[in-house]
Amino acid sequence: MIESSVEIVIVEARTPPPDVRPRLWAAVPVAVLGVAVLLAAERFRHGEAVLIARLLEHLFSRAATVPSAAPVFYYESMAGGVPVWPSVLVTGPVSASWFMGGALLATALMLLVWRRAPVAGLLVASLVTITILGVVSTARTVLSVEATARWGETGFGWMMHTVGGPALMVATLCFCSLLFTPGGLLAVARPTGDA
């Protein structure tokens, strides 16, 4: 009788390393856009001044103008029954450009580092975050100017340095961070591999 032998070979299946090219192709333009926003902050701030002046006119029927290329707008107010035209300089800390540029750079970094998150989900969450940050920052400035026009320095201090300023922006950033959780907008695209 001939005895046959059977050899069992166990081969460990290895997953190939994930392809980083889709993430790189997404991260580079997002990073470039973030840097461009930060480098063009002066122009961006001028655009904010124009937008804020228009919003004051349309939302509060308050005359406002941007007379030059500087990020400064003037609005009509009353001081002791006399019309005055105070000016507001849209400075770096007031500008949405730092929030928006920073969010773009953070997204580019997440695209490269956070391999388990889907690219499409990160991009959608980033787009929504940038939009929310821009809207809230602009609204904060518009409401600060309107509060100043109505209640003077007290209104300005209350809107810019307490509820309307740091508290509102911190709350907005906390809300936006939730968009990047698996239950948030990252669920827009389920991961299919690395991308």
Report the mean per-residue pLDDT for the chain.
83
Question: What is the pLDDT confidence band of residue 3, given thresholds at 50, 70 and 90?
Answer: low
Radius of gyration of the chain from its Cα atoms, rounded to whole angstroms: 25
**How far apart are alpha carbons 163 and 68 in whole angstroms?**
31
Q: What is the mean pLDDT of residues 19-33?
A: 85
pLDDT of residue 11: 62
Residue 125 · residue 26 · CB < 8 Å: no
Question: What is the pLDDT confidence band of residue 4, given thresholds at 50, 70 and 90?
Answer: low
pLDDT of residue 33: 93
Question: What is the pLDDT confidence band of residue 51, given thresholds at 50, 70 and 90?
Answer: very high
pLDDT at 194 over 50: no
Cross-sheet strand order for the sheet of 72-75: 64-65, 72-75, 87-89
pLDDT at 64 over 80: yes
Residue 134 · residue 173 · CB < 8 Å: no
88, β-bridge pairs: 73
